[in-house]
Structure 1
């Protein structure tokens, strides 16, 4: 729904270990709480099924997303950021260009 309206697409294609660490960290630090980005009453919990889907993402979902992005290359500006360092540089450049 958002892709047709976008002129630029930023795909965070970070390593599996980064996502897994972040998911586990949220599950532990926010356990039993509702984060601001969650629906009211939806408490953070340890969910092995969700954790497995995060781990399986590179094989189960990533190829289809990359293929879809490839099809949009002629119409959209597509940026693929593959590391935390690339994300930091991108954000710093945006802040510098748009103070």
Structure 2
């Protein structure tokens, strides 16, 4: 699963066997959102639906800036009861190493 739809997190976790949590810093997330909006402005990305061009979204930007303060603790609580395999990464290099290990396994 992918996304920040915390309202459905519990039901999605109930159907999952593995959790990969990208617990990146606010600064990194903010940088990536701004870079994506700037570099992709007006273009449709391959990972989005047709007719959904990249744009600047102030509401989403506020969500990213305030996520750790307003919602992270609740999401961490919801993930704490997950019975499956958990992989939590706080830096992109950790995720890269994990993916490389999975490919060579």
- TM-score, length-scaled by structure 2: 0.81
Hey, what does 2:87 align to over in structure 1?
79
- CA RMSD between the two structures: 1.3
Alpha carbons 1:69, 1:78 under 8 Å: kept: no
Structure 2 segments unaligned to the other structure (5+ residues): 1-10
- TM-score, length-scaled by structure 1: 0.86
Runs of 4+ in 1 over 6 A off after TM superposition: none
CA distance in 2, matches of 1:32, 1:79: 34
Rg (Cα) greater in structure? 1
Aligned residues: 95
Hey, what does 1:5 align to over in structure 2?
15
CA distance in 1, matches of 2:42, 2:92: 28
